């Protein structure tokens, strides 16, 4: 689910309703015990069958951090939370949602402030596979070229029609913000201070459709929420995340 359509703004964005479970580009399989703070978010378009459509991060025993473009405008019954499972559509524990809190300044055209919190109708039981994450504080800055990790169930290629059920992860690096902004400006996209670019200098590694809303980690700290990109894994067009350090107060006030 990684964001706007190329026709809409020349960006392969993560749509909130993919047709398949999807996965990370250029990564490898992993297991939930390595990422116990990640959540699979399941969507239904028929009020009967739910499938993994976005990712999220566990904030506490009731709240999940995700991307606004995943859940914006949706009734709470459209989504469920799966915790504690390596698999997108089986295992772990399912939770219903009773609140969908989208950031008040979210802009679906520019993708600025692409952040939201889902509140569960039931409390989460913590164990080795289910834990609350540590998130970046307001002064948490990560230098260019620092190693970061993304995890999720997204596609392994832009526009792929099928994906792995198993959780995947990939090592990325923080890309220079000015270079990222200049490259996206060419295709009419504005990279704001609320955004964080991550990818691989030679391309081939990225988050992709289906990873939307999922975490970007630096030394185990969640610094980004997967938002959008031009395709997936393209040289000069890294993935774009909502920069968590810009939302510390909002997150703590709403979780």
User: Are both 138 and 126 inside the same structural domain?
Assistant: no
User: Are both 181 and 240 inside the same structural domain?
Assistant: yes
Tell whether 235 is covered by a domain: yes
Instruction: Give the pLDDT mean for 46-70.
Output: 97
User: Are both 113 and 151 inside the same structural domain?
Assistant: no
Other CB atoms within 10 Å distance of the CB of residue 103: 21
User: Are both 127 and 141 inside the same structural domain?
Assistant: no
- Domain span at residue 96? 35-132+249-254
Among the options 63, 85, 112, 114, which is catalytic? 114
CA proximity to 209, closest of 59, 77, 35, 52: 52
User: Are both 95 and 176 inside the same structural domain?
Assistant: no
User: Are both 159 and 240 inside the same structural domain?
Assistant: yes
Tell whether 28 is covered by a domain: no
User: Are both 234 and 154 inside the same structural domain?
Assistant: yes
36/41 Cα distance (integer angstroms)? 14
Among the options 69, 103, 169, 218, which is catalytic? 69
Other CB atoms within 10 Å distance of the CB of residue 187: 12
Tell whether 223 is covered by a domain: yes
Tell whether 163 is covered by a domain: yes
User: Are both 120 and 140 inside the same structural domain?
Assistant: no
User: Are both 158 and 76 inside the same structural domain?
Assistant: no
Residue 219 has φ and ψ, to the nearest 5°, of 50, 40
The two three-digit tokens of residue 252, written as one number: 């703590």
**Residue 69 known to be catalytic:** yes
Q: How many H helices and E strands in the chain?
A: 4, 15
DSSP line for 113-135: T--EEEEESSPPPPBTTB-PPEE
* Continuous segment of H or E residues that includes residue 183: helix 177-186
Tell whether 16 is covered by a domain: no
Q: Per-residue pLDDT for 103 more than 50? A: yes
SS3 of 232, please? coil
Mean pLDDT (the chain, rounded): 90
pTM for the model:
0.91
User: Are both 69 and 145 inside the same structural domain?
Assistant: no
pLDDT recorded at residue 38 = 99
* Structure confidence at residue 24 as a pLDDT band (50, 70, 90): confident
Strand partners, 166: 87
User: Are both 194 and 238 inside the same structural domain?
Assistant: yes
Among the options 85, 158, 212, 245, which is catalytic? 212
pLDDT recorded at residue 71 = 98
Tell whether 24 is covered by a domain: no
Instruction: Give the pLDDT mean for 231-243.
Output: 95
170/217 Cα distance (integer angstroms)? 11
Domain count, the chain: 2
pLDDT recorded at residue 2 = 56
User: Are both 146 and 100 inside the same structural domain?
Assistant: no
Q: Per-residue pLDDT for 88 more than 70? A: yes
**Residue 112 known to be catalytic:** no
100/71 Cα distance (integer angstroms)? 7
| Helix, strand, coil distribution of the chain in percent, nearest 5 | 15, 35, 50
The percentage of the chain sitting over the pLDDT mark of 90, rounded to a whole number, equals 82
Strand partners, 135: 222
Instruction: Give the pLDDT mean for 102-127.
Output: 99
Tell whether 194 is covered by a domain: yes
CATH number of the structural domain spanning residue 90: 2.40.10.10
Tell whether 23 is covered by a domain: no
> For residue range 126-174, what is the model confidence (pLDDT) as tens digits?
999 999 999 999 999 999 999 999 999 987 666 655 557 899 999 999 9
Taken in order 88, 174, 221, 15, the sign of the CA dihedral is negative
pLDDT recorded at residue 26 = 85
pLDDT-wise least confident of 21-30, 116-125, 201-210: 21-30
* Structure confidence at residue 209 as a pLDDT band (50, 70, 90): confident
Strand partners, 171: 149
Other CB atoms within 10 Å distance of the CB of residue 157: 17
Instruction: Give the pLDDT mean for 188-207.
Output: 96
49/41 Cα distance (integer angstroms)? 13
SS3 of 78, please? helix
* Structure confidence at residue 74 as a pLDDT band (50, 70, 90): very high
């Amino acid at each position: 689910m990684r964001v706007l359509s190329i026709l809409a703004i020349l960006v392969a964005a993560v749509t909130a309703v993919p047709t398949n479970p999807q996965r990370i580009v250029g990564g490898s399989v992993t297991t939930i015990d390595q990422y116990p703070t990640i959540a699979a978010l399941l969507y239904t378009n028929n009020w009967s069958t739910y499938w993994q459509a976005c990712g999220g991060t566990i904030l506490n025993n009731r709240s999940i951090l995700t991307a606004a473009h995943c859940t914006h405008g949706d009734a709470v019954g459209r989504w469920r939370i799966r915790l504690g499972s390596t698999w997108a559509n089986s295992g772990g524990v399912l939770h219903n949602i009773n609140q969908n809190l989208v950031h008040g300044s979210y802009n679906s055209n520019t993708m600025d402030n692409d952040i939201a919190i889902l509140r569960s109708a039931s409390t989460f039981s913590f164990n080795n596979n289910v834990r609350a994450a540590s998130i970046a504080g307001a002064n948490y800055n990560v230098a260019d070229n620092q190693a970061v990790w993304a995890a999720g169930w997204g596609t392994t290629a832009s526009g792929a029609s099928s994906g792995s059920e198993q959780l995947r992860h990939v090592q990325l690096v923080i890309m220079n913000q000015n270079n990222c902004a200049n490259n996206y400006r060419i295709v009419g996209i504005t990279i704001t201070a609320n955004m964080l670019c991550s990818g691989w200098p030679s391309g081939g590694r990225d988050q992709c459709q289906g990873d939307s809303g999922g975490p970007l980690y630096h030394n185990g700290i969640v610094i980004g929420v997967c938002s959008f990109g031009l395709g997936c894994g393209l040289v000069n067009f890294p993935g774009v995340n909502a920069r968590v350090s810009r939302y510390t107060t909002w997150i703590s006030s709403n979780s």
